[in-house]
Amino acid sequence: MLERRHDQSSALPAASALEEALHKSREALETLRACIPNQSAEASQSVNLNEILSDVLKLSTVSLLSANIVVEWQPEVNSAIAFGQPVQLSNLFKQLIANAVEAFNEQRSSHRELRIACVTRPDCMEVFIEDSGPGIANELRFKVFQPFFTTKGAEQQHLGLGLAMAQDVVTRHGGTIDIDPDYRNGCRVRVQLPRVAGGEHVS
């Protein structure tokens, strides 16, 4: 009986810690949701992706410079008009660039390059964000988009919501986001979004 009571009492701290961790995760998720502008308050419209990406890069200058990252920006030379919500798309690309910066900060390599390209396709706009960081294992390239999944160590206290929220934004725009399994020099994220051609939304 004494041994049984000991087992039960030793399980209490673990259960309490788990409950506290779940509570903190729920609080953090609600806080993040509160920071996102109301989806219904922002109307979808024609959006110049070149301008949005340029603005995001300017806002990310400090973090990129502090991490000694060399940036190559290749805007679309022709029309780069997508159909979507400007603020949400801006937040999307901020998150993807922030993820790349975090990946660089995890390694000690002096070779730190970030390439961002915007390309017009017949049926969509494509944005590529490539980094020369450690990359993502092929078996994890779908899993990283799941809420609360993170490749960061527990000591870094990452919630694993960044890419899940990025996918949510892209999906609501009728687009796709994926990680190129054939890219071997780090990580390449591809975002496809509906484009506007001749003043009309191309789906």
Do 31 and 57 lie in one domain? The reply is no
Total number of domains in the chain: 2
Do 115 and 92 lie in one domain? The reply is yes
**Cβ(158)–Cβ(84) below 8 Å:** no
Do 3 and 50 lie in one domain? The reply is no
Counting residues of the chain whose pLDDT is more than 70, the rounded percentage is: 68
**What's the predicted TM-score (pTM) here?**
0.72
| 44-77 confidence digits (pLDDT tens) | 899 999 999 999 999 999 999 999 999 999 999 9
CATH number of the domain within which 63 lies: 3.30.565.10
Q: What is the pLDDT of residue 10?
A: 52
Q: What is the pLDDT of residue 154?
A: 45
Q: Which domain holds residue 148?
A: 44-202
Do 6 and 90 lie in one domain? The reply is no
Do 51 and 26 lie in one domain? The reply is no
Do 5 and 84 lie in one domain? The reply is no
Do 111 and 178 lie in one domain? The reply is yes
The predicted model gives 131-135 an average pLDDT of 85
The predicted model gives 193-201 an average pLDDT of 75
Counting residues of the chain whose pLDDT is more than 90, the rounded percentage is: 42
Per-residue pLDDT band at 146 (split at 50, 70, 90): confident
Do 55 and 78 lie in one domain? The reply is yes
Residue 31 has pLDDT above 70, yes or no: no
Can you tell me the distance from the alpha carbon of 120 to that of 56, in angstroms, rounded to the nearest whole number?
19
